[in-house]
């Protein structure tokens, strides 16, 4: 089948939406299908199996405080592109502006559409004080998703959230993890000695440096003796966070094997964000044999089992979060035990398996398969 992957953001940006689109396109090509990407940026690229994936860039704009992230400013060109591409199914990756236009255009042309709910835009609307707030955003999102044949959600918490807001039909589609890139074997003693020369507990966070990630709550953690915080990533809040967390090490954006080695070298991953629909950074840390300390909210609830492969932090008190990290610093046996269980807890979540699940969902909306067993 030909699949048009319509993404609100794409390369050179680095985020969970981009990663998911790249992996979906790679797997479709591997299985002999014909993926094509429609996005506000990017160029044709060679997939992991050697097939060239065409990328059609639509008109875009850049946010004043986030110049590195182009966003679509679509016009009638989206409908014209669908007429030209003639896809069997349209895949909307975290649909918003571009996704809304593509959903309408696909509906007008009778093309089945699958929407992937990946970003909690309603929560962001509240945090960024968007006019109308969360309630208006939820109504707008529900109208967008009502134009699609199926909405895929990445976690059970997000599934429950969308049900409460009247979305449907829904099916669970999680995210895969690259078990070669993220593995305990990449742990580096040299890297650890460079970042934590005093043998400190190496605590890392990997995220887009933006308000919704709540990284400012890591302030008390950075004051703990014997603990070194490493912040991996970039974004509009970087300068503010560097001022708020002067004792932390900021690496900027890190990718590929270097990221795999850095994550595997952590003793603990910490993620204070409360609006995650999945949280790929947590899954990648677990795959690398690194236990995670996360907010007890959203997608991480499907990944972290308290006291087994990590710990859940309830509430919003940053001093409680720091106290939990201090307790782990002082209990290396508990930390080591969780580390030994981390990789096995996500080893079944390969991109190959998740890619086949995605194709199954396409078949479903095309009327070529029975209802998926995880469908709502």
Q: How far apart are CA 200 and CA 185, in angstroms?
A: 21
Is residue 375 situated within a structural domain?
Answer: no
pLDDT single digits (tens) 52-81 = 999 999 987 765 555 556 666 666 789 999
Residues 38 and 169 in one domain: yes
Residues 123 and 251 in one domain: no
Is residue 147 situated within a structural domain?
Answer: yes
Kindly tell me if the per-residue pLDDT of 90 is higher than 50.
yes
Is residue 11 situated within a structural domain?
Answer: yes
Kindly tell me if the per-residue pLDDT of 174 is higher than 80.
yes
Residues 333 and 355 in one domain: no
Q: State the helix-helix crossing angle for 77-85 and 97-108, rounded to 10 degrees.
A: 50
Mean pLDDT, the chain, as a whole number?
93
pLDDT of residue 374: 44
pLDDT of residue 65: 54
Q: How far apart are CA 27 and CA 331, in angstroms?
A: 42
**Whether this model's pTM surpasses 0.75:** yes
Residues 356 and 327 in one domain: no
Is residue 299 situated within a structural domain?
Answer: yes
Residues 323 and 191 in one domain: yes
Residues 201 and 155 in one domain: no
Kindly tell me if the per-residue pLDDT of 373 is higher than 50.
no
pLDDT of residue 66: 54
Contact 73, 96 (CB under 8 A): no
Mean per-residue pLDDT for 240-267? Answer: 97
Which residue range is the domain that position 42 belongs to?
2-176+350-365
Residues 202 and 320 in one domain: yes
Is residue 120 situated within a structural domain?
Answer: yes
Which are the contacts of 72, defined by CB distance < 8 A and separation ≥ 6? Answer: 8, 39, 40, 58, 59, 60, 97, 98, 101
Residues 332 and 361 in one domain: no
Is residue 188 situated within a structural domain?
Answer: yes
pLDDT single digits (tens) 19-57 = 999 999 999 999 999 999 999 999 999 999 999 999 999
Is residue 108 situated within a structural domain?
Answer: yes
pLDDT of residue 95: 94
pLDDT bracket for residue 122 (50, 70, 90): confident
pLDDT of residue 68: 56
CATH of the domain at 262: 3.40.50.2000
Our count of domains for the chain comes to: 2
Residues 255 and 124 in one domain: no
């Amino acid at each position: 089948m030909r699949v048009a992957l319509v993404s609100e953001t794409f390369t050179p940006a680095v985020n969970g939406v981009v990663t998911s689109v790249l992996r979906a396109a790679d797997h479709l090509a591997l299985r002999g299908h014909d993926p094509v990407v429609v996005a506000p940026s990017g160029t044709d690229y060679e997939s992991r199996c050697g097939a060239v994936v065409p990328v059609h860039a639509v008109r875009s704009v850049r946010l004043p405080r986030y110049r590195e992230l182009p966003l679509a400013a679509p016009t009638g060109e989206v409908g014209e592109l669908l007429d030209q591409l003639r896809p069997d199914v349209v895949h909307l990756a975290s649909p918003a502006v571009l996704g809304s236009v593509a959903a309408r255009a696909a509906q007008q042309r009778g093309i089945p559409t699958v929407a992937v709910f990946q970003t909690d835009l309603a929560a962001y609307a509240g945090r960024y004080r968007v006019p109308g707030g969360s309630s208006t955003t939820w109504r707008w999102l529900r109208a967008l998703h009502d134009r699609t044949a199926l909405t895929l959600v990445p976690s059970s918490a997000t599934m429950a959230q969308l049900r409460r807001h009247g979305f449907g039909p829904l099916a669970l589609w999680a995210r895969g993890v690259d078990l070669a890139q993220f593995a305990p074997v990449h742990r580096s003693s040299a890297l650890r000695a460079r970042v934590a020369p005093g043998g400190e507990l190496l605590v890392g966070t990997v995220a887009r440096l933006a308000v919704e990630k709540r990284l400012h709550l890591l302030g008390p953690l950075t004051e703990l003796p014997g603990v070194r915080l490493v912040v991996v990533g970039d974004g509009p809040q970087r300068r503010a966070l560097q001022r708020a967390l002067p004792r932390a090490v900021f690496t900027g954006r890190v990718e590929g094997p270097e990221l795999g080695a850095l994550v595997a070298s952590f003793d603990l991953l910490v993620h204070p964000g409360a609006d995650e629909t999945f949280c790929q950074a947590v899954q990648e840390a677990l795959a690398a044999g690194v236990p995670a300390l996360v907010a007890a909210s959203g997608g991480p609830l499907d990944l972290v089992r308290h006291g087994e492969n990590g710990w859940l932090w309830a509430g919003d008190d940053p001093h409680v979060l720091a106290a939990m990290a201090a307790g782990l610093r002082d209990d290396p046996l508990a930390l080591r035990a969780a580390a030994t269980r981390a990789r096995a807890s996500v080893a079944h979540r390969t991109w190959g398996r998740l890619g086949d699940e995605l194709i199954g969902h396409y078949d479903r909306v095309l009327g070529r398969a029975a209802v998926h067993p995880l469908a709502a």
